[in-house]
Amino acid sequence: MAGYKTFTSAADMGPYVSKLILELPEKVRTEFVDKAGFSVYVERKDAETGEVVLAKEHHTDKRAYPSKGYVPVLSAYASDGEGNPQEQGSYIALELPEVRLTKRIDGALTRGYIRVLDFRITQTKAISSETPDEAPLTGLVFDIDTGDICPDLNGWDLTGSGIFDDIDMNYGFFTPDLDAVNAARAARPFSPLPPIASVPLLVWLHGAGEGQEPYRTVMGNRVTLLSSPEIQEELGGAAYILAPSSPTYWMDSGNGQIADDNKSIYTKALKTLIDEFIEAHPDIDRKRIYVGGLSNGGFMTMRLVADYPGFFAAGVPVCAPWVASLAAEEEMKAIAQTPLWFVQSADDPIVTAQDHALADYKKLKELGAQDVHITCFDHIQDETGRYHDKNGEPQRYIGHFVWIPAYHDFVKTELNGTNVLVDGTPVTLWQWVGLHHLV
């Protein structure tokens, strides 16, 4: 028996084991490694019971089947211990597809489940030795999990916890590497940039299915893109990301369930957490505290800016189920004090555009809000070129998944289809956020 490492990648539909890294007793050359020489079997288990979970594909009427079986190998090559390709190495990396059997989190919109993936990799084809007189490598079985590698989580700490306003709450957070950022700014050819001393904080609030556990909060729908170099640059070169995990739902008004009444028992607890996080990180610029979130978290974004006007420099409510008709006039006037950019899809079947984002936007404009925008897509489909349907067309998602273009910074238009402008210059969503600060 031998060991293997998993390599997890954050993707638009959640985290997947995208690679297995097999630990070898001797070095091999890539030219002798064949992807057909390995059989990969996996069982996805409940993290609490250890039992193989039952699962079915979304939007089907088929009954659930045990989540176990064989996964195809897309490619195989010699690698180092991190899975990087090598001409010769003491490891073999097997690349795997994004399929249910390699997915680490699944479930419904209101509850995501972290799965334990147990692999058994069997070598089915000998790997020739470099020299003719040496025996080939053969008959290996890899079934000892020796750990996971996830570069998408570099800089993240998922162990945050505390009691805030008498509520136990977990959280994850990203800390920018200012030394590395400033070294890169200074080394820019022809146009070096001055060092960054203070950075903004982006508070990002998850949807209904990603609460309680910070791994689920951060990886469930690719919050890690907010810590990518591209988005960090748009936010001013570097930024902290704070991702709290709701013990129930942000839209819980007291009974532990989702309530559509514009109330939440977590408002003071969240503000306390934010204040304590800022206090613990003196390099955070208090004039650049941003807040945003998707679905349940989009609602909580609105709740926070309603209760704490003048605290946040900008807000991003994504498919937010805030109901303007339920809000008091004073609440909407308070919300109007914070620059907001709503993101919505017209075909969202869960948070309808007419009853929520469009109505909220209209009311805020009526109240004289100057810096409020809304991007309303007709529908949501892959814009990265990575995901396709069976006909080769860009993969289309249900309208509620509007956070996908938001994370990729593909959001840039007003309701009428023209570009959002700042001082006459077109900006994307995260560029717009990064330009805001309190006076």
Quick one: pLDDT at residue 396? 95
Residues in CB range of 74: below 8 A, 6 or more apart: 35, 95, 96, 97
Q: Which of 406, 401, 84, 430 is nearest to 229 (CA)?
A: 430
Quick one: pLDDT at residue 134? 80
Q: Which residue's structure tokens are 């902290």? A: 240
Quick one: pLDDT at residue 432? 98
Quick one: pLDDT at residue 55? 77
Task: Lowest mean pLDDT of 109-113, 128-132, 200-204, name the range.
Answer: 128-132
The CATH code belonging to domain 153-434 is 3.40.50.1820
Cβ count within 10 A of residue 438: 14
CATH topology of domain 2-149: Immunoglobulin-like (2.60.40)
Task: Lowest mean pLDDT of 54-63, 64-73, 164-173, name the range.
Answer: 54-63
Give the integer Cα–Cα distance in Å for 123 and 318: 47
Q: How is the chain split into domains, by residue range? A: 2-149, 153-434
pTM: 0.94
Planar angle of CA 136, 24, 31, nearest 5 degrees: 55
Q: What is the pLDDT of residues 137-170, one digit of tens each?
A: 899 999 999 999 999 999 999 999 999 999 999 9
Average pLDDT, the chain: 94
Q: What is the pLDDT of residues 330-362, one digit of tens each?
A: 999 999 999 999 999 999 999 999 999 999 999
pLDDT confidence bin for 57, thresholds 50/70/90? low
Q: What is the pLDDT of residues 366-419, one digit of tens each?
A: 999 999 999 999 999 999 999 999 999 999 999 999 999 999 999 999 999 999
Counting beta carbons within 10 angstroms of the beta carbon of residue 245, is it exposed (0 to 12), middle (13 to 18) or buried (19 or more)?
buried
Residue 79: strand pairing partners: 85, 91
